[in-house]
Structures are given as C-alpha cells and as structure tokens.
Amino acid sequence: MTSKPIVVGVDGSAASLQAVDWAAREAVLHGAPLRIVAAAELPRRMVSRSGPADYETVTSAILGERDRALTAAAEQAARAGDVLLIDHDPLDGPPAQAVTESGSGALMLVVGSRGAGAFAAMLLGSVSRYAASHASCPVIVIRDEAPIPHGLIGVGVSDPDDCADALGFAFEEASLRQAGLLAIYAWQTPQTAVSRAGQSFAGPTAEALASHAGAQLTRLLDEWRIKYPAVPLTQEVVHGHPARALAGLSARADLVVLGRHARHPGIQDLGAVRHAVLNHAHGPVAVIPTS
C-alpha cells in the first residue's frame, strides 16, 4: 500500500463523477487512499443596490454547490469497496489552479474531460486542460470508457532520450492490471532540405527512417522488458501525425500514456500534440511530467 493519495477533482458534473469511478478503482488497485476535492471561486465583493445580502446569498449558493458535489462524489466512491480510504476536502480559489495544486505530492490527479456550467460543451474543460499542462504529478483525463476492458495500455514515445517517466508509469499500470503494453512511435516524413542555391536534396527513404526508428525503439524497450518480464510488450512505428496515431490508439486501449516534456527549440511542439490527443481521445489519457 502506498501512502500517496490519488486525488480526484469534482464539480458535480457527470464527467467528474465518471472521474470519481475511475479514481476509486485505481485507488483500490494501487492500495492508495482517495482524496476528493472541489473548488469554489467566490465572486468579488461588490456594492449593489440591495446591499451586502446579495453577495452573501450568492456565496452561500456557490459553497453549497461545492459541498454537495463533494458529498455526492464521496458516496459514489464508497461503492468501490470498504477497503478504500476516502477523504474529501473543499478548496477555495480559481478551480483550475486550486485543483491542480491539490495534486502536489499525489500519486496522480484525476479529472473529468468536461466541467459543469455554461462551457460544459467545450471539448476539454479549463480545469483538465490546465492540470494536464501544469501539475507536478501524473494527470489522468477521463473520457468515455469501453464497457469491457481491452486489456491494453498504450504509451507514446516521442523522444527516446526523455521518456523514462512515461514508460515507467505505463509499465506499472500494465503490470497492476495484468494487461499488455503497446509502445508506439509516430513520425512524419521530414521536409526535403533545400540548399542556399535553391537545389533540393533527397533525404533518407521512408523505409530507412522507419527501420532506424524501430531499432531505436527496440533498444529503448529492452531494459524495460527485463524490469517487467510478465508484461506482454509490443511496439509499433507509425508513419503519420503523432496526435492522430495516439488518438486512434485510445480506441483500443484502456489508458494511453503521454509524456509532458519541456519545450525545446527546433523540435515539434509536443504540447500541441498532447492537447490534440486530449481533445480527440476515445478513452482515458495519462499525462506524465518529466522529473
């Protein structure tokens, strides 16, 4: 059993209750306590014609919604089993920042893909988008789950030299679930180099690039095969846009794991890939910050 909690953010929406179900099952799987949090950002105190009573009424309504969301989430999480330790805490301040900060030191932070309120129809809610980009712990964004588990965890490998955290998380999840693991590397044909004189030069063939990428991926995964010999491991090198390949993978995997890397000049904007996957995934996506 781990002392680190799994934290789940709720707001009373159906998506957040779906996140509670996933987080509760994950807490039982890891032998971890579950901490449920909900944030309420109170309006700025303003002078109105009716006096301060209006402010107090609005404040009470907002806090009441927050507390009801916590109670409902705790009741739902309790259905996961008596062995699950559950705590629930109200948070103050802007929800995106407050929920994200609540994940500090956690095993993982779980959030729904959409929130309550006027902007619930947005593909990716403001809280989940902010948490996936800024949290110091792994963030799981929950989308629709398959009624029957696929028995597969997927992990995207973008930089072989900087993916240990994502691979470690993916292998551990596959091991706990007794599932297979698919590591996928997606690449696009680089643009032809152009000389100063305007003459173009042909680069390596697509077959050569794919062969090199496959060999590199195999070498990378060899050490993980030794650490997790019981995890069935396969790999794919895909010629295509990474976001499309990973979103497609999410339709046949129980969880897709992505790394969150620091942006480096001269390489692909991995943040844009991550955001596209989160927007179009068919199931839960884990975003793992590089330590």
Strand-pairing partners, residue 160, are: none
Whole-prediction pTM value? Answer: 0.86
> 95 and 127 in contact (C-beta within 8 Å)?
yes
Closest CA to 285 of 178, 161, 144: 144
- Where does the chain have alpha helices with state H? 14-30, 53-77, 95-102, 126-134, 164-177, 206-227, 242-249, 270-280
> 96 and 4 in contact (C-beta within 8 Å)?
no
Question: Which pLDDT score, from 0 to 100, does residue 201 have?
Answer: 43
d(CA 233, CA 224): 9
Compute CA distances 115 → 9, 14, 96, 143, whole Å: 10, 8, 11, 12
Question: Which pLDDT score, from 0 to 100, does residue 216 have?
Answer: 85
What 3-state class would DSSP assign to 116? coil
What is the enclosing helix (H) or strand (E) of 37? Answer: strand 34-40
Question: Which pLDDT score, from 0 to 100, does residue 46 have?
Answer: 47
Question: Which pLDDT score, from 0 to 100, does residue 119 have?
Answer: 39
d(CA 23, CA 41): 24
Q: How many beta carbons lie within 10 A of that of residue 266, not counting itself? A: 4
> 255 and 153 in contact (C-beta within 8 Å)?
yes
Per-residue pLDDT of the chain (291 residues; tens, 9 = 90+): 678 999 999 998 888 999 999 999 999 999 999 999 999 887 776 444 555 567 678 888 889 999 999 999 999 999 988 779 999 999 988 899 999 999 999 999 999 987 655 434 344 578 999 999 999 999 999 988 888 999 999 999 987 777 899 999 999 999 999 999 999 998 776 544 444 444 444 556 667 777 777 888 899 899 999 999 999 999 998 888 899 999 999 999 999 999 997 654 444 455 788 889 999 999 999 999 988
What 3-state class would DSSP assign to 106? coil
Query: Residue type for 251, please?
Result: A
What b/e sequence results for 219-229 when a residue is b if at least 16 CB atoms lie within 10 Å of its CB, and e otherwise? ebbeebeeebe
- Find tokens 């916590």 and name the residue: 70
Percent of the chain predicted with pLDDT > 70: 83
What 3-state class would DSSP assign to 59? helix
d(CA 119, CA 248): 26
- Find tokens 């895909």 and name the residue: 238
Give the β-pairing of 193-194 and 255-260. Answer: unpaired
> 99 and 115 in contact (C-beta within 8 Å)?
no
Question: Which pLDDT score, from 0 to 100, does residue 115 have?
Answer: 61
Closest CA to 97 of 216, 199, 9: 9
Which residue ranges form the domains of the chain, and what is each CATH number? Answer: 6-142 (3.40.50.620), 152-289 (3.40.50.620)
Strand order in the sheet with 152-156: 86-92, 34-40, 6-9, 108-112, 139-142, 285-289, 255-260, 152-156, 180-187, 233-239
Question: Which pLDDT score, from 0 to 100, does residue 190 have?
Answer: 55
Strand-pairing partners, residue 286, are: 140, 257
